[in-house]
Amino acid sequence: MTGLIDRLQHLFEKHAFGVCTALGEKMGIATFSIRLFFIYTSFMTFGSPIIIYLSLAFIMNMRSHLRKRSTIWEF
């Protein structure tokens, strides 16, 4: 059971919270505060910030893939 919990924690820390970290770095706010904001607003508004969070995650993922372009001359 603890192995499953450790794997879930690793998954969330590695993938799910990249949005909060990026927002915190860009705005100069602690990541913990942004995470709490998403959690509390999700409970108060019945999950609508989750849509915003997933949209931001998608945009960040697409940007990282688009920035990895290389020319045909690079090896």
Tracing tokens 């706010």 back to the chain, one arrives at 29
Residue 75 has pLDDT above 60, yes or no: no
Give me the domain span that covers residue 22.
14-66
Total residues belonging to the chain = 75
Q: What is the mean pLDDT of the segment spanning 35-53? A: 84
**What global pTM score does this model have?**
0.56
pLDDT for the residue numbered 11: 73
Q: How many domains does the chain have?
A: 1
pLDDT for the residue numbered 54: 82
Tell me whether residue 74 is in a domain. Answer: no
Q: Are the C-beta atoms of residues 62 and 73 closer than 8 Å to each other?
A: no
Q: Are the C-beta atoms of residues 35 and 21 closer than 8 Å to each other?
A: no
Tell me whether residue 8 is in a domain. Answer: no
Reported as a single tens digit per residue, the pLDDT across 2-42 is 778 778 777 766 666 678 888 888 899 888 888 888 888 88
